[in-house]
Amino acid sequence: MAPASSLPDLPRSRTHPFHPPPEYEQLRKESPISRFLWPNGVEGWLVTGYSEVRTLLADPRLSINRFNSPPPSVSVVKDRKPEAMLPRSLVAMDPPEHTPWRRAIVKEMTPRWARSMEPRIAAITHEYLDRIREAGQPADLVTDLALPVPSRVICEVLGVPAADQAFFQEQAEVRSQVGAPPEKVNAATTALYEYLGQLVADKRRTGNREDVLGRLVHAEIAGEPAPQDIVVGQAMLLLIAGHETTANMIGLGVATLMDNRELIADLADTAKGTALVEEILRMHAIIQWGIIRRATDDIDVNGVRIAKGDWVVCSLSSANRDESRYSCPHLVDPGQPQAPHLTFGYGVHQCAGQSLARTEVRVVLRELFATFPELRITVPVEELRYRYEMWVYGLYECPVVW
Amino acid sequence: MPRVIVDENRCCGAGLCAQELPDVFDQGEDAVVVVLEENPPAELAERLEAVTFACPSGAIRLVRE
Ligand code: HEM
Ligand code: SF4
């Protein structure tokens, strides 16, 4: 048993499903970098201020590498067996190792490319909207639209056959459950890993360079041929990161617009729709507890000392509500002067798929409300089931009629 | 007007700059930032400041001589 901690427990109860725990407000004002005991018994810093989060995420002394020890977590499974070895990917690499991999991946997903994807995303969206109309009311937008559209898109981009997407959804869901039995998580990880290993090997063997995975497996990284196991790791990251996050953002976007119906019209215009989606993204930093780093050296910042080896969790959801940056931090107001939100993180790991995600959220919401202008959720948004205990926040279901 | 200077080694290629100010920035090989207009017109000053702030890797600098 570790000695009992004298630190306060991490505040983590929401009072409204759209807002982070109310304690964050006082923390931002009084101690934007402070230490807490996390539910799994690990101590770690919680960073809640906008400028503090940015400063620390840009600091090269904070590593994304976990050095094989358990990070702060909201999972209460304390004696967790070691997780199945995850293949390495961008989110386990610091610069300089990170840099060439990052470039090989982001060059596939530039803002210009994301714009060119708009018609394809709209076409996929309409396939699912047609099915929803045919199946009749009510529909669950999470399973019938928000999950399958980003899944189809990322599968096509990477070069994963669409026929396998149900399998992916299932495995990704298991992996992201806080408190899921470790055996289940390990089985899901292994299943995904084996599938992708096969796919990547096929692309290498057949010389396929027609999709992102095909190009990645034939790429040179820092002057060497890309090792196949790391390509599989990156593939796994792209699939998981590119699917569930966007799906949850779409669900929360619909819920948010229920209370702000006058904003729906903005979606029809690209510039206004883009600004609206930025506000929806700001309101919902769905990596809800924040992103985790580890100090590789002592860091003196704002009068506190983060010691070498300490865990640091940067709260994106708190930073996005910082009163010193936003005039109405808790309201959706596309007109307010915008400080860039931190929902996609900050620093060299800032989301590689952000341009695609922005386009997907905007196009799916636009086509949804263009097709069903009277769409509404069947219960008040406060009564929906939210993913409180999941690492990626969102809705479990979104029952709608039109 | 400030001069635009970028550090290609720092750039992590998210492309925010090229999206916001396509006449000033582009992304070249490997998505790394390329400056198209080193001395942008004065009316872009505010948006240049915004992009410099938003850049996730601190790769953009505005130098005033
Ligand atoms: C609204 C949807 C999304 C949100 C909120 C989101 C959020 C994030 C955040 C916060 C990070 C930083 C993690 C860290 O620094 O520890 C990240 C990284 C990443 N995301 Fe996203 N993401 C979204 C969609 C996507 C999509 C669609 C893709 C892929 C197509 C994607 C691929 C990635 C990758 C590859 C990284 C790792 C980048 C690196 O380490 O250099 N994400 N994302
Ligand atoms: S915004 Fe910064 S990191 Fe992104 S492409 Fe431009 S210079 Fe590079």
Q: How many CB pairs under 8 A join A and B?
A: 57
The SS3 assignment for A62 reads strand
- What is the residue with the minimal CA distance to atom 8 of ligand 2? B11
Whole-model pTM above 0.90?
Answer: yes
- N-term to C-term CA, chain A: 55
Pairing of strands A139-140, A311-314: unpaired
Task: State phi, psi for A46 to the nearest 5 degrees.
Answer: -115, 125
Kindly give the interhelix angle for A118-135 and A354-371, rounded to the nearest 10 degrees. 40
Please give the single-letter amino acid code of residue A182. P
Q: State the burial class of residue A94 (Cβ atoms within 10 Å of its Cβ: 0-12, 13-18, 19+).
A: middle
CB contact under 8 A, B15 and A110: yes
- State the average pLDDT over residues A382-393: 91
Say how many Å lie between the CA of residue A192 and the centre of ligand 1. 19
CA-atom Rg of chain A in angstroms? 21
Closest Cα in chain A, distance from residue B41 (Å): 22
- State the average pLDDT over residues A80-96: 77
Could you give the CA distance from residue A190 to residue A214 in angstroms, rounded to a whole number? 21
Residue ranges and CATH numbers for the domains of chain A are 23-401 (1.10.630.10)
Yes or no: is domain B2-64 CATH 3.30.70.520?
no
Q: List residues bridging with A63 in a β-sheet.
A: A294
Q: What is the pLDDT of residues A188-223, one digit of tens each?
A: 888 888 999 999 999 999 999 999 999 999 999 999
B36 close contact with A: CB closer than 8 A: no
Chain centre to alpha carbon of residue A44:
21
* Cα distances (Å, whole numbers) of residue B55 to A48, A314, B13, B17, B49: 20, 18, 9, 7, 10
**C-alpha closest to that of A345 among B33, B60, B46, B12:** B12
Please give the single-letter amino acid code of residue A232. V
Q: Tell whether the model's pLDDT for residue A352 goes beyond 90.
A: yes
pLDDT at A66 (0 to 100): 86
As a whole-number percent, the residues of chain B with pLDDT over 70 amount to 98
The SS3 assignment for A297 reads coil
As a whole-number percent, the residues of chain A with pLDDT over 90 amount to 78
Least confident range of A243-247, A333-337, A350-354: A333-337
Least confident range of A68-72, A118-122, A334-338, A341-345: A334-338
pLDDT at A273 (0 to 100): 97
DSSP letters spanning A335-400: TSPPPPP-TT--STTS-TTHHHHHHHHHHHHHHHHHH-TT-EESS-GGGS-B-TTSSB--BS--EE
Question: Residue written as tokens 């999972």?
Answer: A75
Q: Look up residue A289 and give its DSSP letter.
A: T
Please give the single-letter amino acid code of residue B14. A
Could you give the CA distance from residue A194 to residue A168 in angstroms, rounded to a whole number? 12
- Helix (H) or strand (E) holding B6, with range, is strand B3-6
Taking phi over 0 as left and psi of -120 to 50 as alpha, with beta for the rest, B39 belongs to beta
User: Is residue A3 very low, low, confident or very high in pLDDT (cuts 50, 70, 90)?
Assistant: low
User: With a cut of 0.95, is the ipTM above it?
Assistant: no
Mean of pLDDT over chain A = 92
Q: Tell whether the model's pLDDT for residue A5 goes beyond 60.
A: yes
Answer with the residue of higher pLDDT: A162 or A114: A114
Could you give the CA distance from residue A319 to residue A169 in angstroms, rounded to a whole number? 30
User: Is residue A38 very low, low, confident or very high in pLDDT (cuts 50, 70, 90)?
Assistant: very high
CB contact under 8 A, A352 and B14: yes
User: Is residue A77 very low, low, confident or very high in pLDDT (cuts 50, 70, 90)?
Assistant: low
How many other C-beta atoms are found inside a 10 Å radius of the C-beta of residue A102? 24
Given A58, A349, A351, which is nearest B58 (Cβ)? A58
Greatest CA separation for chain B: 31
Residues A277, A257 contacting (CB under 8 angstroms) = no
Mean of pLDDT over chain B = 92
Q: Tell whether the model's pLDDT for residue A165 goes beyond 80.
A: no
Q: What is the pLDDT of residues A319-328, one digit of tens each?
A: 999 999 999 9
Which stretches does DSSP call E strand in A119-178?
Answer: 139-140
pLDDT at B59 (0 to 100): 95
pLDDT at A31 (0 to 100): 96
pLDDT at A315 (0 to 100): 98
Q: What is the pLDDT of residues A212-269, one digit of tens each?
A: 999 999 999 999 999 999 999 999 999 888 888 999 999 999 999 999 999 999 999 9
- State the average pLDDT over residues A370-381: 97
Closest Cα in chain A, distance from residue B65 (Å): 27
The answer, yes or no, to whether the previous bond of A334 is cis (omega within 30 of 0) is no
Could you give the CA distance from residue A6 to residue A87 in angstroms, rounded to a whole number? 36
pLDDT at A122 (0 to 100): 98
pLDDT at A219 (0 to 100): 95
Could you give the CA distance from residue A234 to residue A352 in angstroms, rounded to a whole number? 11
